[in-house]
Chain A
Amino acid sequence: MIQGVQLDLISEERLARLTSMEKIRLILDEVMAGNIVVLEKGLSPEESSRLIEMTMMEISPDGFAGIEMETYPARSQGGGLLARLFGNKESPSRLTVIGPANQLKMLRKERDLISAWVSSR
């Protein structure tokens, strides 16, 4: 069989239909199976906090070693005060790539360019 890596690009619409927990589970299941996930729209701060926590629980020696993840910094939001008053609940994050830490390596990261390297297992 040809060596390769599965790449799943998940649309904003698809993500919007999922609850936070479903999103996190979907990401972890994919990544633990050795796939790379690209999200059209990133996770909210709350979701990324839970993702880190759940990732930690799935790590095992000689097995899953965690995730590598890159996204662009949020565009600075207008109306800073209002955003603060009502809490920055609305996800400001953007295109996001997530993969297994031992297969996805970030080569270069700038404000407007992310360059990554993917290896097969």
Chain B
Amino acid sequence: MDILTKARKRLSRFLRVFFKKKRSRIGIYGPPNAGKTTLANRIVRDWTGDALGPVSEIPHETRRARRKEDVTITNGDGDSIVIDIVDTPGVTTKIDYHEFTEYGIEKEEAVKRAREATEGVAEAMHWLREDIDGVIYMLDATLDPFAQVNIMMVGIIESRNLPVVIVANKIDLPDASPARIKSAFPQHPVISISGLEGKNVDELYDKMIEFFG
């Protein structure tokens, strides 16, 4: 990048800070267990040093949307964005408390978790309609991307004209197929990562700066 462009970027960043331009609020959506919290934690840790929430193999570990303010992401060229990251509960059309008892959780606690999970999903839908400026839509690349909830959610996001980056996660697993995700959503950028191992997240950061800036 030439000196002039660099200077201009610096100036615009200075002006943005100076005039407190409204930050973009970026929601991480996707089905339960796609790896949303793992990624949210990584983003927050990479750029602020903190963490956001607990990760679990048990679905619906995140039952409230969690937000981290003022996360600045920068790339090698000195471009940057300042965003709020919102980790959301996974969206689904069904919740049965037996999903939790299968993991050895007592009935009473399972029923409570199921209730919180239903509230969390409703809350996530509400955030999407009211408070979100851009979306990272996460998919477990080992699973079928054509699942109804994905088609429906991407349709809802598109109808709101929100910028969306689709993430094909868990590419560290042998049966991951990012190609299947690309063919399911040819209209959007798809970035393949392993949120767990950190593989390829730099490409995601570049895309976020390009799309959410």
Contacts and interface: CB of A to CB of B under 8 A. Distances in A.
Q: Do A and B come from one complex?
A: yes
Interface of A: 44-46, 48-49, 52-53, 55-57, 59, 61, 65-71, 73-74, 76, 84, 87-89, 92-93, 101-102, 106, 109-111
Contact of A56 (B121, B128, B147): B121
Contacts of B114: 59, 61
A117 B118 CA distance: 25
Main secondary structure of the interface of B (DSSP, over half): helix
A101 B148 contact: no
B96 A102 contact: yes
A45 B146 CA distance: 16
A46 B147 CA distance: 19
Contacts of B121: 52-53, 56
A66 B93 contact: yes
6 contacts: A45-B152, A45-B158, A49-B128, A52-B121, A69-B152, A109-B148
B205 interface: no
Contact of B96 (A44, A46, A65): A65
Contacts of B115: 61
A13 B129 CA distance: 28
A52 B148 contact: no
Contact of B94 (A57, A68, A88, A92): A68
B118 A71 contact: no
B156 A49 contact: yes
Contacts of A93: 155
B41 to A, nearest CB: 25
Contacts of A69: 93, 148, 152
Contact of A68 (B93, B129, B160): B93
Interface residues of B, number: 31
Contacts of A52: 91, 93, 121-122, 125, 152
By CB atoms of chain B within 10 A, which of A49, A55, A92 has the most? A49
A70 B152 CA distance: 9
B173 interface: no
A87 B146 CA distance: 24
A61 B122 CA distance: 17
A39 to B, nearest CB: 13
Given A73-B151, A87-B159, A55 B93 contact: yes
A73 to B, nearest CB: 5
Interface string B77-88: 000000000000
A84 to B, nearest CB: 6
A54 to B, nearest CB: 8
A46 B151 contact: no
By CB atoms of chain B within 10 A, which of A48, A67, A74, A76 has the most? A48
A109 B97 contact: no
B92 interface: yes
